[in-house]
Amino acid sequence: MTRFDGEMSPAFEIVEPAEWRAPVIFNSPHSGSTYPDEFLSASRIDLPTLRRSEDSFMDELIGHLSARGFPTVRVNFPRSYVDVNREPYELDPRMFTGRLPSFANTRSMRVAGGLGTIPRVVGDGQEIYRDRILVDDALARIETLYKPYHRALRRLINKVHQMFGTVVLVDCHSMPSVGVSRDEPRRPDIVIGDRYGTSCTPLLPDRVEETMGGLGYSIGRNKPYAGGFITEHYGNPASGLHAVQLELNRAIYMDERRRERSPRFAQVATDFGVLADVLAATIPFGDLGPFQAAAE
């Protein structure tokens, strides 16, 4: 059975502010870089190749926001080991020795692409594992890492909802500067994903675009990333829960080949602070609570 004692402790971290400024949570679910030894031993590819799936340093770009009055969440284990931005049981039966539970989702598009809850490939399509892995080990990762993260995130969301009557979850990711397909157009600096208008009030992506566009970033909407499981699952505007995904072009803040912070890194972190301040100052949170039925 897979053991995680000490190796990935803590598996994730939530930092709440000393003084809350607004009901805005900044989350980084894909920047984890702590790789278990047994995972590295089972992988047919080396660590630098595994790390291509990371949203490297995204947790650092938003980490300072807790001191500015906003809660931050970071995951420390890598998405290539367990991806918390998936349904809990999006699993590819071809990867495992043993029988998957009957409720596993084995037919999703993400599973077909090799990017389920336990990924089969890294971002550029290379197979991760040398051999099949035990179903019990996969389920242990979900029970020990995936589920505790989502329980903690739900508790934080519920706390903020009770405090303010509404919640804005900003799910922060980064994307390769160039897509896998040569036919894909040049990627913008930031892609805002709101599940095509279903995960949040339209005011939220509009305000993000105005703010970051004003700071000089080129902006795209929903293509090629409209938002994953977190944005879809936690975004419920009718209940006062608003979720938006931000995909930051890695070439903006890092050297993708060397996986090092670029000279612009500090400025990008500062710009995230500007964005947080603008959201806190200009979003009418009192109007974003649960929809009320009209009086008869």
Task: Output the six-digit token pair for 253.
Answer: 């803040």
Within 13 Å of residue 127, how many CA atoms lie on the same side as its CB? 9
Sites in the chain below the pLDDT cut of 50:
1-4, 292-296
Predicted TM-score (pTM) of this structure: 0.94
pLDDT for 205: 98
Q: Domain locations in the chain?
A: 12-35+54-78+135-283
Q: How far apart (Å, rounded) are the C-alpha atoms in residues 265 and 280?
A: 23
Q: Find the helix or strand (DSSP H, E) in which 174 lies.
A: strand 167-175
Query: pLDDT of 86-135, one tens digit each?
Result: 999 999 999 999 999 999 999 999 999 999 999 999 988 899 999 999 99
Q: Do residues 180 and 122 make contact, with C-beta atoms less than 8 angstroms apart?
A: no
pLDDT at 60: 98
Looking at residue 293, its pLDDT comes to 37
| Domain at 12-35+54-78+135-283: CATH code | 3.40.630.40
pLDDT at 178: 86
- Cis peptide upstream of residue 290 (ω within 30 degrees of 0): no
Provide the pLDDT for residue 291.
66
Q: 130, 43 in Cβ contact below 8 A?
A: yes
Q: Are 59 and 33 in contact (CB under 8 A)?
A: no
Looking at the DSSP bridge assignments, the partners of residue 255 are 260
